[in-house]
């Protein structure tokens, strides 16, 4: 007679599964709570403690951790010496193991759990049984996911499960146990305040498959960290399924939006670079500012705001070809207007979301890992020219500085009165970034300010800025040629502010 060992925290579907196994000639063996549940539902079931003659103890810390259990699972059926030993020990084989684990992730979600509670939710016996069964997948069916019960019954009825099927179940078990342990490792490391440890266990859960990746020939899927939601959690109200590129752009938009906590901000964005940013009293005015900065690149791009998309704004947005519109609030009239553009993806977002602690970048054969660039300007601001910026220029520079942080390097942002006037993203030379920003601008730049994500090694950027009419520049400083830039700014009557902090984004 075959034996199935069932030991589950999530008891969903277990009674039915046990009955189906019984009907197919399995003897059912279970740990305390599962045994009681099955017995109460009329399933003939033997308690593990009766099999082992060892009581469950230490508040369930020891239930199934017994050689009689693990020998029954791990003995290789095709090896006569294993089977002989098993018989000598008076132990029966265990041929199916269905286990799901203590809900550790649920216990720590919401930051409610004490360390003690978290620790008691670390399952020991369950992973041990699963690992034993999955290691001996040739002889034992290892099941960790209740959604696989039906498939296994079907396979049994068809004379299986085949070796290939068992191997798949075994691989799933090891993925699950590794994921489970990774969550524990991250949680405990976090409690110890440890970061950039000798090993980092990144574990992610699939949210959905994506149609394709950056290009149609690349397979792709969306994943999430165990206690997070992509984009901080969003609700898609309308439109086609989000693509890989939509998601990366939306992520970039969310990160930039996070900079503006005390203003109504609207961002247009494409290929992870902002095309325009506007701050204003209303989202409509903010849109006019952002769109005014660049009416070309936004084609097929994203609009994101931390304010309300109302009917007036929706009326403007519907005339532009956009892929995604993101906002925390859409009025019902705005949604009605936008519903005429069926393909636009509309996302309700929470602009005050918590960002992941680390920034991971894939390189061939590894990753570079860094803390997020969460730094804001502090005490480090230094005015280094004879001419001091006035209050308005200072405010504009701080705005431009927030934006330039989110533009790919080399990055230049020109701005005035809560509006970007020109953005030069992703150039291999800083002067080209500036020239692009000036050339692309739709405005007279007289009195505008400029932000640069890195310092100036030459005088050329200061000279080009002065020629365009720019009055004040904010940049990190720190070049061995800083004196040259200061000299040029003094000579040309500009004010220059050093932040002492750079914001490369590659």
The residues carrying an active-site annotation are: 135, 271
Reported for 338-346, long-range contacts at CB under 8 A and 24+ positions apart, including other chains, are 338/238, 338/309, 338/314, 339/238, 342/238, 342/239, 343/239, 343/240, 344/238, 344/239, 345/236, 345/238, 345/239, 345/240, 345/242, 345/246, 346/236, 346/237, 346/238, 346/239
Nearer to ligand FAI among residue 38 and residue 325 (C-beta): 38
Q: Residue 220 — φ and ψ, nearest 5°?
A: -155, 155
Q: Report if residue 292 touches ligand FAI, rule: CB under 6 A.
A: no
Which range, of 6-14, 171-179, 353-361, 372-380, touches ligand FAI by CB under 6 A?
A: 6-14
Task: Give CA separation, 387 vs 121, 190, 212, 484, in Å.
Answer: 63, 47, 53, 16
Q: Report if residue 106 touches ligand FAI, rule: CB under 6 A.
A: no
Nearer to ligand FAI among residue 32 and residue 213 (C-beta): 32
Beta bridge pairs of residue 450: 414, 473
Nearer to ligand FAI among residue 64 and residue 297 (C-beta): 64
Binding mask 112-151 for ligand FAI (x = CB under 6 A): -----------xxxx-------------------------
Got the DSSP string for 221-250? EEEE-TT--GGGSEEEEESSPPPHHHHHHH
Cα–Cα distance, 27 to 91 (Å, whole number): 14
Nearer to ligand FAI among residue 103 and residue 493 (C-beta): 103
Q: Report if residue 72 touches ligand FAI, rule: CB under 6 A.
A: no
Q: Residue 276 — φ and ψ, nearest 5°?
A: -165, 150
Taking CB under 6 A as the criterion, the residue among 29, 47, 91, 99 binding ligand FAI is 99
Give the total of residues touching ligand FAI (CB under 6 A): 21
Distance of CA 363 to the CA centre of its chain: 18
Cα–Cα distance, 266 to 1 (Å, whole number): 68
Using an 8 Å Cβ cutoff, are 345 and 238 in contact? yes
Binding mask 173-192 for ligand FAI (x = CB under 6 A): --------------------
* Residue (of 176, 175, 169, 173) closest to 105 by Cα position: 176
Cα–Cα distance, 247 to 285 (Å, whole number): 26
Minimum distance from CB of 5 to ligand FAI (Å)? 9
Q: Which two tokens stand for residue 326?
A: 């993101």
Q: How many residues appear in the chain? A: 506
Nearer to ligand FAI among residue 102 and residue 234 (C-beta): 102
Taking CB under 6 A as the criterion, the residue among 3, 4, 5, 8 binding ligand FAI is 8
Cα–Cα distance, 340 to 311 (Å, whole number): 13
Nearer to ligand FAI among residue 35 and residue 385 (C-beta): 35
Taking CB under 6 A as the criterion, the residue among 101, 253, 293, 423 binding ligand FAI is 101
Q: Which two tokens stand for residue 398?
A: 């701080």
Q: Report if residue 65 touches ligand FAI, rule: CB under 6 A.
A: yes
Q: Which two tokens stand for residue 484?
A: 């040259």
Distance of CA 49 to the CA centre of its chain: 43
Binding mask 41-60 for ligand FAI (x = CB under 6 A): -------------------x
Minimum distance from CB of 58 to ligand FAI (Å)? 8
Minimum distance from CB of 296 to ligand FAI (Å)? 58
What residues from 232 to 251 belong to the interface with ligand FAI (CB under 6 A)? none
Q: Report if residue 64 touches ligand FAI, rule: CB under 6 A.
A: yes
Taking CB under 6 A as the criterion, the residue among 26, 102, 149, 399 binding ligand FAI is 102
Which range, of 3-11, 159-167, 394-402, 468-476, touches ligand FAI by CB under 6 A?
A: 3-11
| Half-sphere exposure (Cβ direction) of 265: Cα atoms closer than 13 Å | 27
Minimum distance from CB of 34 to ligand FAI (Å)? 3
Taking CB under 6 A as the criterion, the residue among 3, 31, 121, 410 binding ligand FAI is 31
Which range, of 93-101, 151-159, 197-205, 443-451, touches ligand FAI by CB under 6 A?
A: 93-101
By the criterion CB under 6 A, which residues form the site for ligand FAI?
7-9, 31-34, 60-65, 99-102, 123-126
């Amino acid at each position: 007679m075959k034996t199935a060992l069932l030991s589950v925290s999530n008891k969903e579907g277990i009674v039915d599964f046990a009955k189906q196994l019984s009907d197919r000639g399995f003897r059912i063996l279970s740990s305390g709570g599962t045994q009681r549940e099955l017995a109460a539902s009329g399933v003939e079931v033997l308690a593990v403690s009766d099999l082992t003659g060892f009581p469950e103890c230490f508040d369930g810390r020891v239930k199934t951790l017994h050689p009689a259990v693990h020998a029954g699972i791990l003995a290789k059926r095709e090896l006569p010496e294993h089977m002989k030993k098993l018989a000598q020990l008076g132990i029966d084989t265990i041929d199916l193991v269905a286990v799901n684990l203590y809900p550790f992730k649920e216990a720590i979600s919401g930051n409610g759990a004490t360390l003690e509670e978290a620790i008691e939710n670390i399952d020991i016996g369950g992973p041990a049984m699963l690992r034993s069964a999955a290691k001996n997948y040739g002889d034992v069916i290892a099941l960790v996911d209740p959604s696989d019960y039906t498939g296994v019954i079907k396979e049994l009825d068809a004379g299986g499960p085949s070796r290939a099927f068992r191997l798949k179940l075994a691989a799933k078990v090891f993925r699950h146990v590794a994921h489970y342990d990774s969550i524990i490792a991250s949680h405990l490391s976090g409690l110890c305040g440890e970061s950039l440890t000798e090993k980092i266990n990144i574990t992610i859960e699939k949210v959905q498959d994506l149609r394709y990746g950056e290009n149609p020939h690349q397979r792709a899927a969306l994943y999430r960290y165990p206690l997070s939601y992509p984009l901080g959690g969003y609700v898609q109200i309308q439109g086609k399924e989000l693509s890989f590129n939509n998601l990366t752009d939306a992520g970039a938009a969310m990160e930039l939006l996070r900079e503006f906590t005390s203003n109504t901000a609207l961002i247009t964005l494409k290929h992870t670079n902002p095309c325009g940013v506007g701050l204003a009293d209303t989202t409509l005015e903010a849109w006019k500012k952002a769109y005014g900065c660049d009416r070309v690149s936004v084609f097929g791009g994203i609009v994101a705001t931390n304010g309300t998309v109302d009917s007036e704004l929706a009326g403007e947005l519907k005339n532009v070809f956009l892929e995604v519109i993101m906002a925390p609030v859409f009025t019902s009239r705005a949604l009605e207007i936008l519903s005429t553009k069926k393909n636009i993806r509309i996302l309700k977002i929470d602009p005050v979301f918590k960002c992941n602690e680390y920034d991971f970048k894939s390189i061939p054969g590894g990753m570079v890992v860094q803390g997020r660039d969460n730094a804001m300007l502090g005490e480090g601001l230094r005015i280094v020219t004879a001419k001091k910026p006035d209050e308005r220029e200072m405010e504009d520079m701080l705005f431009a500085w927030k934006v330039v942080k989110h533009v790919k390097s080399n990055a230049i942002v020109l701005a005035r009165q809560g509006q970007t006037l020109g953005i030069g993203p992703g150039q291999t030379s800083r002067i080209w970034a500036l020239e692009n920003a000036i050339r692309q601008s739709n405005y007279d730049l007289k009195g505008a300010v400029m932000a640069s994500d890195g310092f100036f090694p030459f005088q050329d950027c200061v000279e080009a800025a002065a020629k365009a009419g720019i009055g004040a520049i904010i940049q990190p400083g720190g070049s061995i040629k800083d004196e040259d830039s200061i000299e040029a700014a003094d000579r040309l009557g500009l004010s220059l502010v050093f932040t002492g902090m750079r914001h490369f984004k590659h």
